Structure 1
């Protein structure tokens, strides 16, 4: 099971890495458009999802934001699950496994879960309002802004699910005296 979890998380993180790499290509396309004085890269006869009737310099800017939001919000849950996040507690690595588990349990229960649970509803409403009002760029950018904004509640939900799982797992291992306190 651990190998499947690790492979799944690393696959998601690789997808996030590809999104970051794509940002470089989108920026390069934008730079070339600017260099050649182009405001429009491709025009379509019928509107397409996300870009409308054309891929413009401004829609490329929106795609950069979308790729970045997707990469960041999708990466936070697997990074936490794999325990690859940066810790503020400089003493954590020097403590016995049992104390590290207690610190993680307290941190997840008192800070992580309440904070992200508090953010979830406003994030959902933020994306929902964008979808309901059919929010779109007014300057030739993206036609479906809600896609960018939807990454926020999706990422928060995934992160909350991981925090709840880790809290339950660490609590169970601490109570049962299980050997795996990671």
Structure 2
């Protein structure tokens, strides 16, 4: 191991930086989901208790739920809690699991998330420029919800690079196996 390589158990600054960004997005996602639930409950109470409703309040709860999903997805990847069809993977040795992770990250996740981020960006720009709003009475402007798409896909791309880096470092013996499954920063 040369002097510029991290000591076993430490991650390079760029990996830690991406993980911190993912943790921050996940914290926003958590609060967005809580707020969406509170607004949803409030909407139900007002609709059935008072007999009135607001499209704006319904739409903001959808926007917040979208924020929870799009901003929280990278954290799910970071914590290795994503859905996996585990017919063989769990029985494989760690080295094979890491190679399978690398294959999935490089061949599937990066290209698809990169493409979706790229394709969603012009839609966001069009919505911002046009000031597009919901066609519903009292509806909201749409670009904040659309901004969640390139942001969420971009976060997944960044987190994929972080996960690739961790797995390559593990294969090189520069970090311990569980280092890349550490808990979120507090």
Structure-2 change in CA distance of 1:166 and 1:34 (3 Å): same
In 1, distance between residues paired with 2:134 and 2:21?
A: 35
- Within a 5 Å distance, the mapping from 1:152-171 to structure 2 comes to 152-171=149-168
Q: Is 1:37 matched with 2:51?
A: yes
Q: Which runs of 5+ in 1 are unaligned?
A: 40-56
Is the deviation greater in 77-86 or in 106-115?
77-86
- Within a 5 Å distance, the mapping from 1:107-122 to structure 2 comes to 107-122=104-119
Q: Which runs of 5+ in 2 are unaligned?
A: 1-9, 181-186
Cα deviations by residue, 1:62-121 (Å, 9 ceiling, x for unpaired): 101110110000101111112122212332222111111100111111111111111111
- 1:28 pairs, out of 18, 28, 41, with 41
Structure-2 change in CA distance of 1:162 and 1:9 (3 Å): closer
Runs of 4+ in 1 over 6 A off after TM superposition: 4-8
Structure-2 change in CA distance of 1:179 and 1:169 (3 Å): closer
Q: What TM-score, normalized to structure 2?
A: 0.76
Structure-2 change in CA distance of 1:178 and 1:91 (3 Å): farther
Q: Which residue of 2 aligns with 1:96?
A: 93
Give the Å deviation of 1:132. 1.1
In 2, distance between residues paired with 1:110 and 1:7?
A: 25
Q: Is 1:65 matched with 2:62?
A: yes
CA contact (8 A) 1:9 1:82 kept: no
Give the Å deviation of 1:122. 1.2
Structure-2 change in CA distance of 1:97 and 1:157 (3 Å): same
In 2, distance between residues paired with 1:70 and 1:95?
A: 35
**Paired positions, count:** 163
Q: What TM-score, normalized to structure 1?
A: 0.77
